Chain A
Amino acid sequence: MGFGPFLFLATLEGLVQASVLVLTAVGLSLVFGVMRVVNVAHGEFFMLGAVIAWFVATNMPGDPAIGFIAALIISPLAVGAVAYVADRLILTRLNYNPEATIVATIGLLYVIQQSVLMTYGADARPVDPPFYYTIRLPWFGYSSYKLFVIAAACVLLGVIWFVLKRTKWGLLMRATQFDRETALAFGIPVRKVYSFVFAIGAGLAAIGAVLIVPIQQAHYLMGLDPLLLSFTVVIIGGLGSIQGTIFAAILIGLSDGILSVFFSPTLAKIVSTLFVAMVLVFKPNGLFAKAKR
C-alpha cells in the first residue's frame, strides 16, 4: 500500500475516532457551558452507555440490527435518566457550587464504575455491528459500519445545532447560558433547564458509546480515556463553545492516530496532557478564541 492510500486509511480511522469524540465532548461542553459544571463523571456516562448497549443488544432476539437500533434508542434514554436523577438528587442541592459539584461528580464516578463492576463484571464484551458489509476500495476494503458512524455523527451534530438554534428549548438553554439571573427574571425555569441539559449531555456521551461498541468492546474502565480526551477537546476548543469543541474534536481525533505512530502511546499522552495544560494556562479561552477587547 502506497503512502497516499495509507494516509487515506489513517484519515478515515481518525474521522471515526473524531465522530465519537465530538459527540462525547459536545455533551461535556454543553453541561459546562450552560451549567458551569465540570462533570468528572462524564466518562462514566459514556461507559454506562456502552454497557447498557451490550445488555440491550444481547437480550434482543432476532437480527443484530434490531438489537443495535434498540440499544441506540434505549441506552441514551436510560443514561439520560440516570443523569437526570443525579442532578435532581445531588447537584441541585449543592446549588451548583463549583467545588462541591466537582467533588460530588468524582463520587458519582466511583459509584457508577463500581456498580457496573459489581453487576456487569470485569470482562470486555463486544456488540455485533448492525451490518457487516465491506466497501471495496481500489487499495483496501473498509467497513461500511465505520462510515455509518461518521455519517451518524454528522446527522446528530446537525440535530444538536437545529435544537440549539431553531427551537424554543434551544433558546431557553442559550438564554440560561448567557445570563442565568436575567433568564430567571424572565420566568425561564432554570432548574429544569439544568436538569434537562445534564441529561442531554450524558445522553450524547451514551450515543457516542453505542456507536463505538461494535468497534471497541464494552468494559467497566473504558470511561477514563473519553473523559480525558473530552476535557482536552473542550479546553482546546474553548470552555463552553460548541463550534470550538467540534473543530477541536476533529483536530484531536485526526492527530491522535498520527501522534501514536510517531511516539509511544504513553509519551503521546504525556505530551498531549502537558500541551493541554499549557493551553489552559496561556490561552484560557481556547486555542481558536479571538483575543477579547
Chain B
Amino acid sequence: MGAGMMKSLILHLAVLVLLFLLQFVISDYAILTLTRMMVLGIFASGFNILFGYTGLLSLGHAMFFGAGVYAAGLPIYHFGWSVPLAFVFAIFMSFVAAVIIGVIALRTVRDSFMILTLMLAQAGYLAILYFNRETGGSEGLTMPQASRSFDFLGLTIDLTDAATRYNIAVLLLAITIVVSFILIQGRYGRLFNAIRENEARTEMLGYNVLTAKLFSFTVSGTIAGMAGAAYAILFGYIGATFAGIQYSIEALLFTLLGGAGTLLGPLLGSILMTTLIDRLSEVTSAYFLFLGLILIALTLWFPKGLLGTIKEKWLPWLT
C-alpha cells in the first residue's frame, strides 16, 4: 500500500467516523435530512462507478434505484416479508436487472448508450404506472405499520426512530465507500480508468473491455438498487417518482457537482444540492430552474466538480 493510498484511506475513514459522531451534535431535523442525503449519496456513488470511473454516462440510473425501491417495498407490502429478507432480495434483484440491462445496453456506445439507458428507464417508469394496482402508480404506497420495526440478530430495530435510521444509513454508506475503495484501488479499478481514458487502446492491449464494462455496470446498478431498497425501508414509502427521469438526472447532478471520479464527490454533491434546495424553497419554488442553471454552469466552468478540482490542484492522491 502506497503512502497516497494510506492517506486516502485515512481520509475516507475519518469522514465516516465524523458522520457517525455528527448525530450527537446536530438537531433532529438535521439528522433526518442527513439520512436522506446519505441514501441519495449512496445512489450517486453507484452512478459514479460507471460515470466517473469508467466514463460511461447512463441517463437512466433511476431504473436501478427504482428497482431497489420496488423489489424491497412490494414483497413487504403484499406478502408481509420481513425487512432484512426484502432488503437482501432487493439487492439481488437490482443485481439481476443490472446484468440483463448491461448486456443489452453495452452493445451501444456514446450517444446511443445515453439515449438507450434513458429509454429503458422510461419504459420501467411507465411499467410502474401501468401496473398501478400493484405498485400504487404515481401516488405510491405507504409501508404497513408492522414493517416499521423488526427483530434482527436479537436486536429490535425501530425504523420510526430517527437515530436508528441515521445509523443504518451511515453503515450502508460505509459499506459502499469501502467496497468502492477496494474496487477502485484494485486491478479492475485501473482497468476502468484505462477504458475511460482510451477504450480502443485498452482493447488493443488485450483486455476484455466488454467484461470490464459489464462488471462496472453491474456494481454500479447494484449499489444504486441498494440505495433504493434502503430508501423504501427507511422512509416506509414507495412511489413511481423514484424511477422517474428526475432521479436519474439528480444522480448525475450530485456526481458532477461533488466531483466525478472521486469517492466522496457524490455524497458531497448530494449534501450541497439538498441543502441548497432546502434554502431555496424558502425563497422560491423554481427548483427546476436552478437545477438547469447549475447543470449548465457545471459543464461550462466546473466540469471536474469540487473534489475533482481539489484532487487536480492540491491532493493528487485522492481517490
Contact = CB atoms under 8 A, between A and B. Distances in A.
B116 A114 contact: no
B57 interface: yes
A38 B114 contact: yes
A273 B123 contact: yes
Interface of A: 32, 36, 38, 90, 93-94, 98-100, 102-104, 106-115, 118, 228, 231, 235, 239, 264, 266-267, 269-270, 273-274, 276-277, 280-282, 284
A108 B289 contact: no
A282 B288 CA distance: 35
- Report the interface size class on chain B: 35 or more
Given A270-B126, A280-B108, A107 B299 contact: yes
B119 A280 contact: yes
A280 B288 CA distance: 30
Contacts of B256: 103
B119 A103 contact: no
Interface stretch (B84-92, B159-167, B175-183, B290-298): B290-298
B200 interface: no
Of the candidates A98, A112, A118, A281, the one having the most CB atoms from chain B within 10 angstroms of its own CB is A281
Given A38-B114, A114-B286, A104 B119 contact: no
Interface in B104-122: 104-105, 107-108, 110-112, 114-116, 119-120, 122
Contacts of B115: 38, 231, 235, 280
B252 A94 contact: no
Interface string B216-258: 0000000000000000000000000000000001001000100
B127 interface: yes
Interface of B: 57, 59, 104-105, 107-108, 110-112, 114-116, 119-120, 122-123, 126-127, 129-130, 249, 252, 256, 286, 288-289, 291-296, 298-300, 303
Given A107-B293, A264-B130, 12 more contacts: A90-B300, A94-B300, A99-B57, A99-B114, A100-B299, A107-B296, A111-B289, A118-B286, A231-B115, A239-B111, A277-B119, A281-B107
Contact of B252 (A98, A103, A228): A103
A207 to B, nearest CB: 24
9 contacts: A36-B111, A38-B111, A98-B110, A113-B288, A114-B292, A115-B289, A231-B119, A277-B104, A280-B108
A102 B114 contact: yes
Contact of A110 (B111, B114, B292): B292
A45 to B, nearest CB: 14
B305 to A, nearest CB: 12
Contact of A284 (B112, B127, B299): B112
Summarize B's interface: helix, strand, loop or mixed. Answer: helix
B288 to A, nearest CB: 4
Given A102-B59, A103-B256, A114-B292, A273 B300 contact: no
Contacts of B129: 266
A266 B112 contact: no
Contacts of A274: 119-120, 123
B172 to A, nearest CB: 28
B123 A103 contact: no
A239 B108 CA distance: 13
Contacts of A113: 288, 292
